[in-house]
Amino acid sequence: MLTPFDKQRRLQTSNDFLELVGDNVDEICDRIVTVDETWVRQYDPESKQESMQWTKKGERPPKKFKVQKSASKLMATIFWDSEGLLLIDYLSKGTTMNGQYYANLLAQAREAVVQKRRGKLSRGVLFLLDNASVHTARVSRQALKDTGFSEIDHPPYSPNLAPSDYFLFSNLKKELRCRRFVDDNQMKMAVESHFDCKEKEYFLGGLKALYTRCEKCISLEGDYIEK
């Protein structure tokens, strides 16, 4: 449950973003780089809602056995912008995601911007990330400062205001759900294949949705957005 303070923070952050955008939503979205981490599993069964099916009146639905998620999984950290992916990192088995590891990724992400997005750095990168502990560690904060990126404030407990959560990862997992992968390499290939076939407009649309979500958040006085 969101506290009154949480709602006020979400409300203020949403107002700040709309003020930043003004009438230049495409221009601002073109400057945004965002990042988040997600787990990719060797097997992820469909949800209860997804497995529901229509039945005739009075007819009993078929029995379905509960299927467990695969214990084998891979953490992917994805940096992306309005044109597509900038960097994907897969955490090696036995390695811990900590502040120093993430700081190294920030340096790689900056280099990716330089190499893949000519002029973006000089226009000023607006960096959007959540409040995960690895993102807020002291070494991570210093690494972010070193990139020269300007951070966009993100309120706590707000995955529905994070483009990676409400858009990028949710669509990726819908496509991968119920598919079985034999090893990590197959999982990586599936992830990258999913993104390779997407046009620039796909990623731009995901970022532009943040504007309408902020408007909805304001209309709900900072409460959660259902859809």
Each residue's pLDDT tens digit, 66-91: 445 556 899 999 999 999 999 999 99
Kindly report, residue by residue over 18-61, the tens digit of the pLDDT. Answer: 999 999 999 999 999 999 999 999 887 755 554 445 555 666 66
In a domain, 51, yes or no: no
% of residues, the chain, pLDDT over 90: 82
**Residue 1 is assigned to a structural domain of this protein:** no
Q: What is the CATH number of the domain that holds 128?
A: 3.30.420.10
* Mean pLDDT value across the chain: 91
Quick check: 17 pLDDT over 60? Answer: yes
Domain assignment present for 2: no
Nearest to 31 by CA among 82, 88, 106: 82
Q: Is residue 23 part of a domain?
A: yes
What was the pLDDT predicted at 141?
A: 97
Q: Is residue 44 part of a domain?
A: no
Q: Residue 139 belongs to what domain range?
A: 9-39+71-220
Query: Strand, coil or helix: what is 67?
Result: coil
Number of independent structural domains in the chain: 1
- pLDDT on residue 50: 46
Residue 4 lies in a domain: no
Please state the rounded mean pLDDT for residues 111-135. Answer: 96
